[in-house]
C-alpha cells in the first residue's frame, strides 16, 4: 500500500517527537546537560504539527522506535591504517532515536536493485559494530572484511545512456539487528493504527451485543470493517480510525456508567484520551447531553406574576428584540443565552432530572489530561490552546469535485456526507440498513428500549450533520463521519438479525443456524467485493 499525503507529515513528526523523548531520557539517565523540559525545547519540539494532539503521533513514534528495522545509507568505506581486513564505514542521517548505539552490532546490506523484488533477501555483505557517533552520522568497524571488495560492491555504477533505467534503488545500507526490529519502518509507524482499528471492531461487537445480542454484534462489527473505505483508512498512519475508536469507547463507557460508578471514571479517562487523539472528541458530549434531555426530559413550569398588560408587553418586547439582535450580530450561542434570560424573567422554571455522574467528572478529568499530557500546552497554555482551536475554526477548504462541480468555498451542499455515504457503501449493506431502520424504529420499536433507539439515532446523525453544515470546511471524505458509520453498522446488523430470524421461521428445522449465518456473511463479503470491483 502506498503512502497518503497525511501520512508523510505524521511519519515526520512522530519521529521528531521521539527525538524529544530521547533527549528527556539523556537528561535524566545520561550525562546530557540540556533542559529537554524547558520552554525552548518543548516549544521547538511540540510546536511542530501543533494542529493535532499528540497521542497517536507518540504511539506511532514509539512503535517505529521499538519495532522498526532501521536502514540507513552507507556514505563512505575506508580501510584502517594498521589492518587490511578491517573497514571503517560511515553511515549518514542517523538520528538519536534510530538506535545505532555504541557497541551495537549491525548488518551491512548490499544495494537494492531495480530488477529485484522488494521482498527478496538483500545481499549480506558482513557485520559491523558501532564505534562512535559524530553528529548525525555513526562510524562502524567491520572486521574480517576486505575494505576494497566492500567498497567495490557499494560503488554506484554509472550509465552512459540517460534513457536507461538506473539499476539501483538504494546503495549499501546498515541495518539494525535487534530482535524487536521485525517490521519495516513504515509498517511500524502504521502498527498502532491497526491496533486501534482492531479495538474499534471489538467495541462495536461489545456495544451491539450489549444492546441486541451477539448476532447483531458480529454482523455490525464485520459490516464496519468490510466497507471498503473503512478498511482502507484502518491501515493508515492517521487519526481518523483512532478517534472513532475513542468515540465509541466513550459512548460504551458512558452507557455502562449509568449503572456503575467505576465506569464513570473510566468514561472520563477515555474522554481525556479522546481529546488527546483529535479535535472531534470535544463534540462527544453533545449527542450524549441531547440523549439525556430527550430520554429524561426536564420538568418545567411558569410562575404567574402580577403585572399589567403594558408592563408585560414592554418586558417581553424588549427581550424579544435583544434575542433577535443577538442572533443577527453575535451568533446563535449569544442568542441562546439571551433566550434563557428571557425565560427566567418571564417566570419559566426548569427542574432537571438527576444528571449522569459522567457529565460531572468528564470535564475536570478530561480537560486536565489534555493540558497535562500535551507538552505544547505546558507553556503559554492559553495562547497555545487558542491557536489550536483557531487552526480548525479557520481551516482551509480543499477542492472537492462533486457531480462535476468544483467545491472551493462555502456554502457547501447539505447533501455532501449523505450522498458520499450512499455512493461508497455496498448496496447490500444499504439495503440491510434500510431494513434495520424500518424494523428498529417502526415495526419492532416496542421491542427495543427508547433510550437505546435514541442513543443510536443521535450518534448516527450527529457527525453527518456537523459535516453537512454549509460553513463546515470540507477537507476530506467519509473519514470525517466514521463515528456515524459505526451506528450505521449497528442498524444494518439489526436489519440482518431480523432477516435471519425470518429465515429461521420459514426454513426446515434441520438447517443449522450456522448455514444461515454463513450465507448472510457471504452476502456481506460479496457486497464489499462488488463495491471494490465497480470502483
pLDDT in tens, 304-321: 666 566 666 776 677 677
Residues 371 and 412 both lie in one domain = yes
- Does position 531 have pLDDT exceeding 60, yes or no? no
- d(Cα 146, Cα 142) in Å, to the nearest integer? 9
Residues 244 and 95 both lie in one domain = no
Q: What sign for the dihedral angle of Cα 347, 350, 351, 355?
A: negative
Q: What angle do CA 515, 518, 520 make, to 5 degrees?
A: 110
| Other Cβ atoms closer than 10 A to 298 | 10
- d(Cα 380, Cα 289) in Å, to the nearest integer? 32
Q: What is the pLDDT of residues 428-461, one digit of tens each?
A: 899 999 999 999 999 988 899 999 999 999 999 9
Q: How confident is the model at residue 2 (pLDDT cuts 50, 70, 90)?
A: confident
Domain of residue 498: give its range: 188-295+359-527
Q: Are 268 and 223 in contact (CB under 8 A)?
A: no
CATH value at residue 122: 2.40.30
- Does position 240 have pLDDT exceeding 60, yes or no? yes
- Does position 533 have pLDDT exceeding 50, yes or no? no
Question: Is residue 148, in this structure, part of any structural domain at all?
Answer: yes
The pair phi, psi for residue 168, each rounded to 5°, is -110, 140
In this prediction, residue 332 carries a pLDDT of 67
Q: What Cα–Cα distance (Å) separates residue 358 from each residue in 257, 269, 298, 426, 531? A: 7, 10, 18, 37, 41
Question: Is residue 300, in this structure, part of any structural domain at all?
Answer: no
Q: What is the mean pLDDT of residues 343-353?
A: 66
- d(Cα 42, Cα 40) in Å, to the nearest integer? 6
- d(Cα 488, Cα 281) in Å, to the nearest integer? 19
| Other Cβ atoms closer than 10 A to 518 | 11
Q: What sign for the dihedral angle of Cα 260, 266, 271, 272?
A: positive
Higher pLDDT, 161 or 33: 33
Q: Are 14 and 63 in contact (CB under 8 A)?
A: no
Question: Is residue 301, in this structure, part of any structural domain at all?
Answer: no
Task: Tell me the range of 76-85, 115-124, 402-411, 488-497 where mean pLDDT is highest.
Answer: 488-497
Q: How confident is the model at residue 91 (pLDDT cuts 50, 70, 90)?
A: very high
Residues 226 and 330 both lie in one domain = no
| 113, containing H or E segment | strand 112-113
Question: Is residue 15, in this structure, part of any structural domain at all?
Answer: no
In this prediction, residue 221 carries a pLDDT of 96
- d(Cα 299, Cα 353) in Å, to the nearest integer? 8
In this prediction, residue 530 carries a pLDDT of 45
- Does position 99 have pLDDT exceeding 70, yes or no? yes
In this prediction, residue 484 carries a pLDDT of 97
Residues 320 and 394 both lie in one domain = no
DSSP letter assigned to residue 356: P
Residues 174 and 206 both lie in one domain = no
Q: Are 176 and 69 in contact (CB under 8 A)?
A: yes
- Does position 513 have pLDDT exceeding 60, yes or no? yes
Residues 336 and 276 both lie in one domain = no
Residues 198 and 104 both lie in one domain = no
Residues 250 and 119 both lie in one domain = no
Question: Is residue 382, in this structure, part of any structural domain at all?
Answer: yes
Q: Give 312-318's long-range contacts (Cβ < 8 A, gap of 24+).
A: 315/345, 315/346, 316/342, 316/346
Mean pLDDT of the chain: 87
Q: How confident is the model at residue 523 (pLDDT cuts 50, 70, 90)?
A: low
Q: How confident is the model at residue 160 (pLDDT cuts 50, 70, 90)?
A: low
- Does position 237 have pLDDT exceeding 80, yes or no? yes
- Does position 120 have pLDDT exceeding 60, yes or no? no
Residues 339 and 453 both lie in one domain = no
Residues 454 and 507 both lie in one domain = yes
In this prediction, residue 212 carries a pLDDT of 96
Q: What sign for the dihedral angle of Cα 320, 324, 329, 333?
A: positive
In this prediction, residue 534 carries a pLDDT of 44
139 DSSP β-pair partners:
90, 132
| Other Cβ atoms closer than 10 A to 264 | 22
The pair phi, psi for residue 291, each rounded to 5°, is -60, -45
Enter the pTM of the model: 0.87
Strands (E), 320-392: 348-351
Residues 392 and 471 both lie in one domain = yes
Mean pLDDT check: name the lowest of 194-203, 231-240, 498-507.
Answer: 498-507
Q: What is the pLDDT of residues 276-292, one digit of tens each?
A: 999 999 999 999 999 99
The alpha carbon of 68 is separated from its chain's Cα centroid by a whole number of angstroms, namely 21
Q: What sign for the dihedral angle of Cα 436, 437, 441, 444?
A: negative
Q: What Cα–Cα distance (Å) separates residue 246 from each residue in 116, 278, 403? A: 42, 10, 33
Question: Is residue 8, in this structure, part of any structural domain at all?
Answer: no
Mean pLDDT check: name the lowest of 20-34, 303-317, 447-461, 495-509.
Answer: 303-317
Q: What residues contact 259, with CB distance under 8 A and at least 6 apart? A: none
**Pick from 314, 346, 378: which residue ends a domain?**
346
Q: What percent of the chain has pLDDT over 70?
A: 84
Residues 200 and 176 both lie in one domain = no
Mean pLDDT check: name the lowest of 48-57, 136-145, 222-231, 500-509.
Answer: 500-509
In this prediction, residue 223 carries a pLDDT of 92
In this prediction, residue 225 carries a pLDDT of 92
Looking at the structure of the chain, the number of domains it has is 3
Question: Is residue 150, in this structure, part of any structural domain at all?
Answer: yes
| Other Cβ atoms closer than 10 A to 290 | 15
Question: Is residue 317, in this structure, part of any structural domain at all?
Answer: yes
- Does position 119 have pLDDT exceeding 90, yes or no? no
In this prediction, residue 162 carries a pLDDT of 58
Q: What percent of the chain has pLDDT over 90?
A: 58
Q: What is the mean pLDDT of residues 5-18?
A: 93
Amino acid at each position: 500500500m502506498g503512502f497518503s499525503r497525511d501520512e508523510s507529515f505524521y511519519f515526520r513528526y512522530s519521529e521528531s517527537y521521539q527525538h524529544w523523548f530521547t533527549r528527556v531520557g539523556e537528561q535524566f539517565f545520561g550525562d546530557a546537560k540540556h533542559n529537554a523540559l524547558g520552554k525552548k525545547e518543548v516549544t521547538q519540539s511540540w510546536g511542530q504539527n501543533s494542529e493535532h494532539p499528540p497521542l497517536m503521533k507518540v504511539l506511532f513514534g514509539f512503535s517505529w522506535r521499538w519495532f522498526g528495522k532501521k536502514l540507513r545509507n552507507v556514505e563512505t568505506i575506508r580501510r584502517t591504517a594498521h589492518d587490511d581486513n578491517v573497514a571503517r564505514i560511515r553511515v549518514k542521517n542517523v538520528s538519536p532515536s534510530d538506535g545505532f548505539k555504541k557497541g551495537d552490532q549491525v548488518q551491512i546490506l548490499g544495494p537494492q536493485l531495480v530488477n529485484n523484488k522488494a521482498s527478496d533477501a538483500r545481499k549480506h555483505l558482513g557485520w559491523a559494530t558501532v564505534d562512535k557517533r559524530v553528529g548525525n552520522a555513526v562510524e562502524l568497524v567491520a572486521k574480517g572484511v576486505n575494505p576494497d571488495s566492500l567498497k567495490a560492491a557499494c560503488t554506484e555504477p554509472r550509465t552512459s545512456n540517460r534513457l536507461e533505467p538506473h539499476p539501483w534503488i538504494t546503495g549499501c545500507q546498515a541495518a539494525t539487528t535487534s530482535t524487536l526490529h521485525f517490521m519495516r519502518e513504515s509498517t511500524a509507524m502504521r502498527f498502532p493504527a491497526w491496533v486501534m482499528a482492531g479495538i474499534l471492531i471489538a467495541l462495536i461487537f461489545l456495544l451491539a451485543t450489549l444492546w441486541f445480542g451477539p448476532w447483531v454484534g458480529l454482523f455490525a462489527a464485520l459490516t464496519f470493517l468490510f466497507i471498503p473505505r473503512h478498511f482502507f483508512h484502518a491501515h493508515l498512519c492517521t487519526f481518523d480510525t483512532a478517534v472513532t475508536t475513542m468515540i465509541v469507547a466513550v459512548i460504551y463507557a458512558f452507557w455502562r456508567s449509568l449503572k456503575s460508578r467505576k465506569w464513570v471514571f473510566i468514561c472520563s479517562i477515555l474522554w481525556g484520551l479522546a481529546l488527546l487523539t483529535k479535535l472531534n472528541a470535544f463534540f462527544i458530549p453533545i449527542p450524549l447531553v441531547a440523549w439525556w434531555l430527550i430520554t429524561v426530559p426536564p420538568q418545567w413550569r411558569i410562575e404567574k406574576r402580577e403585572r399589567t398588560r403594558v408592563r408585560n408587553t414592554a418586558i417581553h418586547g424588549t427581550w424579544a428584540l435583544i434575542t433577535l439582535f443577538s442572533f443577527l450580530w453575535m451568533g446563535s450561542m449569544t442568542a441562546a443565552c439571551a433566550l434563557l434570560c428571557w425565560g427566567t424573567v418571564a417566570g419559566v422554571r426548569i427542574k432537571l432530572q438527576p444528571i449522569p455522574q459522567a457529565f460531572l467528572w468528564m470535564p475536570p478529568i478530561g480537560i486536565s489530561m489534555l493540558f497535562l499530557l500535551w507538552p505544547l500546552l505546558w507553556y503559554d497554555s492559553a495562547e497555545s490552546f487558542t491557536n489550536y482551536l483557531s487552526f480548525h475554526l479557520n481551516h482551509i477548504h480543499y477542492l472537492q469535485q462533486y457531480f462535476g462541480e468544483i467545491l472551493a468555498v462555502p456554502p457547501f451542499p447539505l447533501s455532501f456526507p449523505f450522498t458520499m455515504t450512499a455512493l461508497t457503501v455496498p448496496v447490500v449493506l444499504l439495503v440491510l440498513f434500510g431494513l434495520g431502520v424500518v424494523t428498529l424504529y417502526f415495526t419492532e420499536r416496542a421491542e427495543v428500549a427508547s433510550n437505546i433507539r435514541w442513543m443510536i439515532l443521535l450518534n448516527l446523525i450527529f457527525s453527518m450533520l456537523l459535516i453537512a453544515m454549509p460553513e463546515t470546511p470540507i477537507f476530506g471524505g467519509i473519514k470525517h463521519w466514521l463515528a456515524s458509520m459505526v451506528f450505521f453498522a449497528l442498524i444494518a446488523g439489526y436489519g440482518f438479525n431480523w432477516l435471519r430470524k425470518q429465515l429461521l421461521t420459514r426454513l426446515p428445522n434441520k438447517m443449522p443456524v450456522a448455514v444461515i449465518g454463513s450465507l448472510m456473511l457471504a452476502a456481506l463479503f460479496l457486497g464489499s467485493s462488488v463495491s471494490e470491483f465497480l470502483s
